Structure 1
Amino acid sequence: MKTPPQWLIFVCIIPLLIGVHPVNGQQRNRDMDNFIKELMAQMTLDEKIGQLNLVTAGEVTTGEAVSTDVESNIKEGKIGGIFSMTSAQRIRAAQELAVNHSRLKIPIIFGLDVIHGYKTIFPIPLGLAASWDMDLIQETARIAAIEAAADGLNWTFSPMVDISRDARWGRISEGSGEDTYLGSRIAEAMVRGYQGDDLAAYNTLMACVKHFALYGAAEAGRDYNTTDMSLHRMYNEYLPPYKAAIDAGAGSVMTSFNDINGIPATANQWLMTDVLRKQWGFNGFVVTDYTAINELIDHGLGDLQAVSALSLKAGVEMDMVGEGFLTTLKKSLEEGKVNEADINRACRLVLEAKYKLGLFEDPFRYCDEARAQQELLNPTHLAKAREAAGKSFVLLKNEGQLLPLKKQGTVALIGPLANTGSNMPGTWSVSADLENTPSLLEGMQTALGSQVKILHHQGSNLLADTVYQDRATMFGRAIPRDKRPEAEIIAEALEIAKGTDVIIAALGESSEMSGESSSRTDIGIPDVQQRLLAKLLETGKPVVLVLFTGRPLTLTWEHGHVPAILNAWFGGTETGKAVADVLFGDVNPSGKLPATFPQHVGQVPLYYSHKNTGRPLAEGQWFQKFRSNYLDVSNDPLYPFGYGLSYTTFAYGEMTLSTDSFKKNDTLQVYVEVTNTGNHEGEEVVQLYIRDLVASVTRPVKELKGFRKIRLKPGESQRVAFDITEEDLKFYNTSLEHVAEPGEFAAFVGTNSRDVQEKRFFLVE
């Protein structure tokens, strides 16, 4: 490695000479400021603009464009970051180009979509949210950071905190569901997990909060589509998880594709500057999503030069793949469409991120092949993945206590999702080793050994339509098609099931039927699979449906006919073993739904925290003329938010309040005693909801404001307490003031958003 310039050595050694530890807050900020001032004084305009250019190495892409001339651009100082390059060896080689062959030897930042694990894959984010376990979620992000950082990466495009209430939208799988409060707590946990206590440590990743903002509210559930909502709804329901992540210290933010109030997010100065920086105090950098600046052209905002200038002025610092900044900003500066201060601001923020990551101190601290060999897929990480998967599964139905099964006899494992290892990690598992990921069949065989004989048959194709199946199994997730007639395939499966004690039907979506650009208008189990399921039920044998999905599905028929349904989402690397753990009783399921399951797709968007109309339907009624309802389906969900069964049962005592009124600076306590009344040790998520009964603006019928996950042995009781303060009662009024208005409120406690007890209280001046 060549010797760095004297100014770089001098600036780096100053803190050591004066005895300042690099993590000492204010001094470190002063050191960083001096360092970057000195560095930027050496930079040409082209080199400053180059820091704003994020390119892809071409391994993993989420769009049509792939960067070219990467090596020569690194040497010329025209690249600030690279994403989708993996392995410590390859990243080290690229970093050496930057620090050995560019003029100022500025290191590159390396990013990847580390969404729910790096090599050890955890459940999809919607599944992790179903655990309602913040410590677990933080730990999965920590493990993801440890693995990715060992392999050379230092930046992740996660967490995705978009609230989504439309199950047609494929990317609901990548977030935490429909609820503002739960989503905010998960956002905080993931940022803490990725970034740790010191971002400059060798085993951290800089978090990138996405997609800012409102992306999950795309019209018609169609990806990349327009979003339109009031400021009142934005501030109260959709923006809080982004702010929670910023408050937790997230180092970067990614723009969303949609427009907001007529201005696409990537060019939206109100959003990127007024809200993000001025209102929330964000001091990191903003990166676009894949070619988002270029896509402003199709939005109708001008040519590439015009939209690049708009984005920079709006508050965007880094251009992902499109190279609009690289190729047009110099001309825009000459023409007065941007100023040098805009470019300097953006360059400084990118350089600050690299400083905070410790890249100027050691450009190769994240490249350690020996550490990678120790960390990637190590037994401790795999054990945590198995635990996380088991805790993410949601037991939707268990008629007659069919589950757990006994570890004996013969089981028929039937369905197109039974023996496809590549689909078990779920969508957005871009670094997973798909060829060596166990299928459900293989995982169950490993977990159960010789105790249970497993007979397998595919039973049906994933989808009847070949073209549709090709679209649904992209990126190495193919499921072999059986070209024989459907009846012949099913008949063969039934013959195998004949001599077994129980049938496990592995059905639902493939991993790529949800995720980016995977919106669906029909969110049921595909017809060909449903016909197989009906035939399996006709055998008279007990049937357990193991459901794979990245979104809420319409399961009205399945709920009415199948005795036991376990929603496994996509559980990651250890899915098969975790399913066996739950089905055969080694793990008692404790997951609770983070998103409402509708009866029919015509109900969506459907979510528990809706507002009342002036003509609400009376509770318990299906239809009443001139009320807000449907002719053909009740307003009710199939499974409400927060729902999930257990192998044991929990009884709730009467909830009590410490007082029926309290002042703004005081605290009100809510108490409830929960008892395990069944025969299994189990976990229960006790949920607290609040309603503001009279306010200056309309308020939701319920809002989650707290939860506790408790573990109880059979017969054991625990008194669960919640504190309610003024902060819990605040909302944004029509002036966007965050206020708590005195008046009457209702508190609800229960096992889900529907099955609750209620008590009233007052907030007084």
Structure 2
Amino acid sequence: MSLNNVQHLHQSFSEEEQKVQQLLSAMTLSEKIGQMSQFSGNEGFISPDLAEAVKAGKVGSVLNEVDVNVVNQLQHIAVNETRLGIPLLIGRDVIHGFKTIMPIPLGQAASWSKDLVKQGAKVAAIEAKTRGINWTFAPMIDISRDPRWGRIAESFGEDPFLSSVLGVAMVQGFQGNSLKDKGSIAACAKHFAGYGASESGRDYNTANIPENELRNVYLPPFKAVADAGVATFMASFSDLNGVPASGNEWLMKQVLRKEWQYQGFVVSDWDSIRQLSVHGFTQDDKQSAYEAVNAGIDMEMVSSTYQNHIEDLIADGKLIIAQINTMVANILTVKFKLGLFENPFTNQDDLPKVLNQQHLAIAKQSALQSCVLLKNSANTLPINLNKTNSIAVIGPLANDGYEQLGTWIFDGEGKDSKNCLDAIKDVVNGDAEIHFEQALSNTRSKDTQYFTNAVATAEKSDVAILFLGEESILSGEAHCRSNIDLPGCQEQLIEAIAKTNTPIILVVMAGRPLTLTNIIDKVDSVLYAWHPGTMGGPAIADLLFGKQSPSGKLPVTFPRNVGQIPMYYAHKHTGKPASQDMYVHMDDIPQRAPQTSLGMAATHLDTHFSPLFPFGFGLSYTHFKYQNLLLSTDKLKFNQPLKVTVEVLNTGDIDADEIVQLYLRDLVGSVTRPVKELKGFERVHIKAGETKTVTFTLDTKDLAFFDRNMRFNAEPGEFLLWIGGNCEAQLMASFSLEEEH
């Protein structure tokens, strides 16, 4: 946090502020610019250039150094061999784990569990801290509505409410009760803002978002984590409505600082300040440095435009020293809050060992709750070992500990993973024969030479479990896809095995929603496991054999085909909404039909307007019935809470979790409102035959939105409310928000 306009801080703040100001008053301009500069480490050694730069006070942060001895040496130079002894921030991408890898964030979002997300981030923070890391570039809370975009894997999906809740939970996990706690590191909210709307789902691409949509959809998660005290923000690579984020004064000053009163510091993304001139936004590096400082980017990641040009910009009168002082104060304050001035060094004995049993248990629980059962014809799952003599395990992801870890894991190792084949063998424990055939060398392979073996393996088995999807490298930063079907010849493999009539259980590991339309009717069950992390194997095995019931729900819509993208549940109604009554498929149009608008609705001619699987969807091994939806009032007054209750009955014979979801629609607004918006959810464990009452409380602010004048308020009128197991819930009630008097 910075030094001004701070509320609700503990008593030590005034002392902290005084320390920052005293330090600032002693610093030269060169040393201030040094605090604004982040250098890349050498991963295992200190280069002479880096050592000299740290000693000269020209470095405020180092990233990508994970050797604790090297980190301690760097801190020793910074603290003991510089004039002012200012410690370093040590940054690292610790996105979904350090050594113990959790499911990818999109998978964690499928758990709809803020507690598990918080616990997973805490594990990551503790393990990263053992190497001297004190700052991570997570959570990524970009709203992601295009599964072609590789970085959807790092997101919490398409919904602002879910992303806000889980983003805050991850920040709390990383930062703990105090940044000075031994197991806490500073979090960084990224990428501010609108990066998830990159055109065509191509990374680094431009984003054009009307301000009203930006405020109602893309900014709420960032506002939520800012209010929760996230230590830092990161500017997006992309431009936003023609102004790259790293030079976007409106975004950083008007919204972040003035409107939200954010007090932490802002870092650029990798080399993105220098890239302002590549965008065509600036003429050269000097102008790029000016625009970034003027916008309020406190620290430059990797590139050196600040080092090379800020002094000249001040000498030229383009910048003033007060701007620099404010930015450096922001950075120093975070260092004080981390306790780096008191204890800059890392003693690994102060922290738990990585990959310990408690950490692995959390990883397994996260994987268990993140898997989503999309299809289960004839109750193919769970596999009954009393009726099963032989099991075929087929596919390149069945025994690959590395690929199940997912994207952007620099420190996790495949050797530490528990893979699915081994886990299945452990669960079966000799009660059935296991026949394994890899079939493909990797998920992109187009070599069908082993299909004969795979078919033979399926033919001699009672059930076939196929482990298919994407390798981890096919999603994440810069790994976008124009076609999101199963890659390589995986569809042909499914078709070949389907001809054996052996029941097929498809387990998909992927970093995004894949289009499964071509194969969904050829398999009996589909368990979507995302990239499930270190403990993916045991978690999936427990689900396959009924030790646990699947409980994950989709945090993102699954389209039928790529041509439907962008597709998300909270779309607008339009003046000609799609409906089954108005739907016309191109194959049903007579030849030389008269030129008409056909169904006159917002649909495609060559596919149904609905998704393959909707947001919030996920099956269980039991069934839940929703009943007795009650509202405390049907005429709500401003600032009056609305209490909503519903009964959820487990009608099956298996104890299981259900994620109860509440959706609203504002029927009339000064700007058009989505057909549904998630406003609450609750994960509830319900025993077989048991009925539980679930209660939600809504406030007037839950009905509010940014209107046509960009004012945030609730408008009087009629509302519809649904509660159920996904966004297509049918149990509905209505109420009105009365005029204020």
**TM-score with structure 2 length normalisation?**
0.94
**Which amino acid in 1 is paired with 2:17?**
D
Does 1:758 pair with 2:738? Answer: no
SS in 1 for 2:409: coil
Match for residue 255 of structure 1? 235
Gaps of 5+ in 2: 1-6, 585-597
Match for residue 77 of structure 1? 57
Match for residue 30 of structure 1? 14
SS in 2 for 1:27: coil
Is the Cα–Cα contact under 8 Å of residues 443 and 471 in structure 2 kept in the other structure? no
SS in 1 for 2:71: helix
Match for residue 312 of structure 2? 331
**Which amino acid in 2 is paired with 1:564?**
S
Cα distance between partner residues in 1 of 2:408 and 2:685: 32
CA deviation profile, 1:490-546 (whole Å, cap 9, x unmatched): 012222333222111001111111110011110111250110111111111111000
Match for residue 662 of structure 1? 636
- State the Cα distance separating 1:297 from its structure 2 match: 1.2
- State the Cα distance separating 1:258 from its structure 2 match: 1.0
**Which amino acid in 2 is paired with 1:554?**
T
1:491–1:30 CA distance, 2 compared to 1 (3 A): same
Does 1:401 pair with 2:376? Answer: no
Match for residue 25 of structure 2? 41
Give the percent of matched residue pairs that are identical in Structure 1 and Structure 2. Answer: 44
1:544–1:739 CA distance, 2 compared to 1 (3 A): same
Match for residue 575 of structure 2? 614
Match of 2:36 among 46, 49, 52: 52
**Which amino acid in 2 is paired with 1:38?**
Q
Match for residue 142 of structure 1? 122
SS in 1 for 2:659: strand
Does 1:388 pair with 2:369? Answer: no
Cα distance between partner residues in 1 of 2:670 and 2:423: 55
- State the Cα distance separating 1:398 from its structure 2 match: 0.5
Does 1:515 pair with 2:473? Answer: no
SS in 1 for 2:709: coil
- State the Cα distance separating 1:410 from its structure 2 match: 2.5
Does 1:418 pair with 2:398? Answer: yes
- State the Cα distance separating 1:447 from its structure 2 match: 4.6
CA deviation profile, 1:327-367 (whole Å, cap 9, x unmatched): 21112222222211122111111111100000011111xx1
SS in 1 for 2:683: strand
1:510–1:463 CA distance, 2 compared to 1 (3 A): closer
Match of 1:160 among 140, 152, 159: 140
- State the Cα distance separating 1:620 from its structure 2 match: 5.7
SS in 2 for 1:293: coil
1:452–1:400 CA distance, 2 compared to 1 (3 A): same
Match for residue 659 of structure 2? 685
1:227–1:68 CA distance, 2 compared to 1 (3 A): farther
Match for residue 453 of structure 1? 433
- State the Cα distance separating 1:289 from its structure 2 match: 0.6
Does 1:271 pair with 2:255? Answer: no
Gaps of 5+ in 1: 1-22, 61-65, 467-484
Match for residue 594 of structure 2? none
Match for residue 590 of structure 2? none
CA deviation profile, 1:713-757 (whole Å, cap 9, x unmatched): 110001112222211110101111111111111111111001322
- State the Cα distance separating 1:127 from its structure 2 match: 0.4
- State the Cα distance separating 1:446 from its structure 2 match: 4.1
Cα distance between partner residues in 2 of 1:645 and 1:250: 35
Cα distance between partner residues in 2 of 1:433 and 1:178: 30
SS in 2 for 1:653: strand
SS in 2 for 1:629: coil
CA deviation profile, 1:190-234 (whole Å, cap 9, x unmatched): 111111111111110111000000000001110000000111001
Q: How do 1:150-189 residues align onto structure 2 when only pairs under 5 Å count?
A: 150-189=130-169
1:139–1:678 CA distance, 2 compared to 1 (3 A): same
Cα distance between partner residues in 1 of 2:573 and 2:615: 17
Cα distance between partner residues in 2 of 1:440 and 1:738: 49
- State the Cα distance separating 1:241 from its structure 2 match: 0.3
Match for residue 589 of structure 1? 550
SS in 1 for 2:519: helix
Q: How do 1:277-426 residues align onto structure 2 when only pairs under 5 Å count?
A: 277-300=257-280, 301-364=282-345, 367-372=346-351, 374-407=352-385, 409-426=389-406
SS in 1 for 2:467: strand
- State the Cα distance separating 1:150 from its structure 2 match: 2.5
Cα distance between partner residues in 2 of 1:499 and 1:261: 59
Is the Cα–Cα contact under 8 Å of residues 400 and 414 in structure 2 kept in the other structure? no
Match for residue 520 of structure 2? 559
1:565–1:239 CA distance, 2 compared to 1 (3 A): same
Cα distance between partner residues in 2 of 1:753 and 1:265: 33
Is the Cα–Cα contact under 8 Å of residues 138 and 190 in structure 1 kept in the other structure? yes
Cα distance between partner residues in 2 of 1:436 and 1:690: 44
Is the Cα–Cα contact under 8 Å of residues 443 and 574 in structure 1 kept in the other structure? no
Is the Cα–Cα contact under 8 Å of residues 186 and 230 in structure 2 kept in the other structure? yes
Cα distance between partner residues in 2 of 1:721 and 1:461: 50
1:692–1:24 CA distance, 2 compared to 1 (3 A): closer
Aligned-residue RMSD, C-alpha: 1.8
SS in 1 for 2:117: helix
Cα distance between partner residues in 2 of 1:170 and 1:294: 24
Cα distance between partner residues in 2 of 1:704 and 1:157: 27
SS in 1 for 2:251: helix
**Which amino acid in 2 is paired with 1:368?**
N
Does 1:652 pair with 2:626? Answer: yes
- State the Cα distance separating 1:30 from its structure 2 match: 1.0
Aligned length: 716
Does 1:740 pair with 2:714? Answer: yes
SS in 1 for 2:602: coil
Match of 2:192 among 194, 209, 212: 212
Match for residue 675 of structure 1? 649
Is the Cα–Cα contact under 8 Å of residues 661 and 761 in structure 1 kept in the other structure? yes
SS in 1 for 2:731: strand
**Which amino acid in 2 is paired with 1:388?**
S
Higher mean alpha-carbon deviation, 266-275 vs 455-464, is at 455-464
Is the Cα–Cα contact under 8 Å of residues 622 and 633 in structure 1 kept in the other structure? no
Q: How do 1:629-648 residues align onto structure 2 when only pairs under 5 Å count?
A: 629-648=603-622
Cα distance between partner residues in 1 of 2:488 and 2:99: 34
- State the Cα distance separating 1:438 from its structure 2 match: 3.4
1:440–1:80 CA distance, 2 compared to 1 (3 A): same
Is the Cα–Cα contact under 8 Å of residues 462 and 528 in structure 1 kept in the other structure? no
- State the Cα distance separating 1:452 from its structure 2 match: 4.2
Is the Cα–Cα contact under 8 Å of residues 55 and 67 in structure 1 kept in the other structure? no
Cα distance between partner residues in 2 of 1:406 and 1:110: 50
1:442–1:491 CA distance, 2 compared to 1 (3 A): same
CA deviation profile, 1:21-62 (whole Å, cap 9, x unmatched): xx99443111111111221222111111011111111449xx
**TM-score with structure 1 length normalisation?**
0.91
1:559–1:497 CA distance, 2 compared to 1 (3 A): closer
Cα distance between partner residues in 1 of 2:27 and 2:132: 26
Is the Cα–Cα contact under 8 Å of residues 153 and 512 in structure 2 kept in the other structure? yes
CA deviation profile, 1:569-597 (whole Å, cap 9, x unmatched): 01100111111011011111100000000
Cα distance between partner residues in 2 of 1:162 and 1:597: 18
Cα distance between partner residues in 2 of 1:448 and 1:515: 34
Match of 1:697 among 656, 666, 671: 671
SS in 2 for 1:655: strand
Is the Cα–Cα contact under 8 Å of residues 472 and 511 in structure 2 kept in the other structure? yes
**Which amino acid in 2 is paired with 1:118?**
F
**Which amino acid in 1 is paired with 2:384?**
K
Cα distance between partner residues in 1 of 2:309 and 2:47: 17
Cα distance between partner residues in 1 of 2:575 and 2:62: 53
- State the Cα distance separating 1:435 from its structure 2 match: 3.7
Cα distance between partner residues in 1 of 2:737 and 2:655: 39
